Amino acid sequence: MVSANLGAMNTHNTPSFQTPSSFVTFRLARLQSSLNAQGAALLKSKSGLSLVEWRLIQTLRMIKNASLTEIADHVQMDKGQLSRKIKAMVEKGLLRTETNKRDQRIQHLTLTAEAEKLSAEMMPFMDARQQHLLANVSVEDLEVFYSVIDKIEAASKFRGDA
């Protein structure tokens, strides 16, 4: 399937000097860099939230009372980072923690009214952004896009087998 990948390279805006190796990952890294910058700028301008804060808020809207570990699994984020971020967000008045009665190791997290409010205010802008990002992508192509992400993500879990 190498030829596949070379074919794709020649038909897109691939610079002719691009090495085959790490082309996909290179493109994805560059894309991620742009998306992060855009998302962070939008969030900062409309609310005072960071990208990480936004993602945690949205995750907690999906998984009510999630614990740190549950969030970490869901967003694939480091637990150390999460621990510190949660602490900061509690101090900022965005989250509340509640210790599990049966297992005192676990802290359940809930959004404060302030966090809900910021989320609601910000949501239209974030939805519009997503619309904009996908404006020229057909439903079928998006379907394929997600399926390729799934495959690459599954393959990216393996270590040491090349």
**Could you say which residues in the range 78-117 bind its own copies, by CB under 8 A?**
none
3-state DSSP assignment of residue 137? coil
Shortest distance, CB of residue 103 to DNA, whole angstroms?
A: 4
CA distances from 10 to 21, 26, 31, 134 (A): 14, 16, 19, 23
Q: Which does 91 bind (CB under 5 to 8 A by kind): DNA, its own copies, none?
A: none
Q: Is 161 in the site for DNA (CB under 7 A)?
A: no
Q: What is the pattern of x (binds DNA, CB under 7 A) and - over residues 112-151?
A: ----------------------------------------
Alpha helices (H) in 12-160, listed in sequence order: 23-46, 51-62, 68-75, 79-91, 113-133, 139-155
The size of the interface with DNA (CB under 7 A), counted in residues, is: 30
In the stretch 13-32, what mask flags binding to its own copies with x, by CB under 8 A? x-x-xxxxxxxxxxxxxxxx
Collapsed DSSP state (helix, strand, coil) of residue 47 = coil
